[in-house]
Amino acid sequence: MNRQARQLDWFSPVILFPLVYIGYVLLGMLPMSNLWYPPASVLLVFGMGLVFYLAGALLASRILRDAPSLLFYEKIVRVNASDQPLKEREEKAAQRLRWLSYLIIGLGFLASLLVIRSGIPILNPDNRGNINAAVKMLTEGLWFGLGLYFFVGASRRLERGWRALFLMTGMIVLFLVLLAYRTPLIYLAFILLLWWHYQHRPVTAVQLGFFGLLVVLSGTLFSYLRQILIYGVNGWNDYVMRIGIDPAWSWLVPFHLVTREGVSVFQMLAYLIPPSGGMFGQFHLSAFLSAMPGEQFSPRRIVTNLLGNRPQVTTTPSLIGPFYVDFGLIGVAVGMLLLGLVLGSLYILMKKARGIEQQVIGFLYAFLLGMSLIGIHTGILDISTFLMLVFGYLVWRFVAVWLSLANRSRKEEFGP
């Protein structure tokens, strides 16, 4: 990462996130069909959210610059080439993390086989709603485990040969396609892009733009095929004509609907809920309660019920929607401030760290940044997302403590 010190890092939390955020909101306001569009005043709330996000990211930079000892619990351990005991300890930590990633991927494969045994979701997308929540959560291990493996072990594997790594990646992508998982595919592609950027060769603005275009087109076509499988070609074209779009562009309509949905849904929630908020924490709590036994409503189901949408679908409230539903405008300000603070802190820590700890923090940063970018549309609501974030943090602390113990033993044996 040192070779990028003098280059503009497009994956910085104060560059990429604001660009995607602004692009998403503006595209969502373009009247490309005869559907209802929110008034321009909604831009004020989204703009306020972005301002507080940037304030949080810049605050993280100031805190960690003025007080380097406040790197959460302890200073990051720097492994020098001459510290052989630390190097050996670091290699053992990397080996354990590689085995952990294999275990996570294996559980993901087993869960995927359980899902596919009762029907391949890509051939019948309606069956996705019948997947057991615990099993569905385990399938997330496919992309999460592979992302972790790339950051802590892929470079070593590439030195020995690329075929095994390519085969494992191809199998995981195939299973995600069969499971009709669009968002995990985007997560995985983004994490691998950041792995390449930070561990091999910096990604240029042109390459990043090409990647973004590829993701948009792939996601749009993926959604288009799902709609065709559900409604048929004629049914989908009828809907496209009803909203005032030429059927020749029907394959692009899913992208238009996605960008419009976030802004429009938030505006409708703002009509129903006062600026002081309405659920005061219960909305975020429902993400965890939805995994409990009995009839529990997930956050997206709550939004669906609030807006009176048909129960067969769930509705995404955008990134700032959950903050507003719970605590109003203050919730938007505090929530976006905290998001910027966490992302900014991880970015700085990743830049300061070395060796295996840098790789783990890099994976955590890639995961959270990807989650935040997708969350601009979906909101950060899934319990699996919170659990994976906590798990990734615990992995980081394991590495830090493991290296700290080695450093302590070295000082006791050889002196400072």
> Is residue 363 within 8 Å of residue 369, measured between CB atoms?
no
More confident residue, 173 or 4: 173
Contact 97, 398 (CB under 8 A): no
pLDDT at 279: 85
**pLDDT reported for residue 125:** 60
Distance CA 337, CA 340 (A): 5
Mean pLDDT along residues 275-303: 79
How much is the pLDDT for 158?
63
Mean pLDDT of 314-327: 88
Q: Where are the alpha helices (DSSP H) in 118-150?
A: 133-139, 141-149
Average pLDDT over residues 198-205: 89
Residue 359 has pLDDT above 80, yes or no: yes
Flag whether pLDDT at 364 surpasses 90.
yes
Average the pLDDT over 286-307 and give the result.
77
- Does residue 34 or residue 46 have the better pLDDT? 46
The pLDDT, as a whole number, for residue 39 is: 81
Decide which of 192 and 262 is more confident: 192
Q: What single-letter DSSP state applies at residue 274?
A: -
- The pLDDT of residue 5: 46
Q: Which two tokens stand for residue 25?
A: 């909101």
Mean pLDDT in residue range 122-135? 68
Under DSSP, the state recorded for 74 is S
Q: How confident is the model at residue 1 (pLDDT cuts 50, 70, 90)?
A: very low
% the chain with pLDDT above 90:
29
CB 320 within 8 A of CB 335: yes
* Percent of the chain residues topping a pLDDT of 70: 83
User: pLDDT digit string (tens) for 5-29?
Assistant: 457 899 999 999 999 999 999 888 8
Residue 366's pLDDT is: 95
Q: Identify which has the larger pLDDT, 122 or 183.
A: 183
The mean per-residue pLDDT over the stretch 363-388 comes to: 90
pLDDT of res. 73: 39
The per-residue pLDDT for 69 is 47
- Greater confidence (320 vs 357) lies with 320
pLDDT score, position 293: 67
pLDDT, one tens digit per residue, over 37-96 is: 778 788 899 999 999 999 999 999 888 765 444 443 344 444 454 555 667 777 788 888
Asked whether residue 198 carries a pLDDT value surpassing 70, the answer given is yes
Q: What is the pLDDT of residue 145?
A: 93
Residue ranges per structural domain of the chain: 2-414
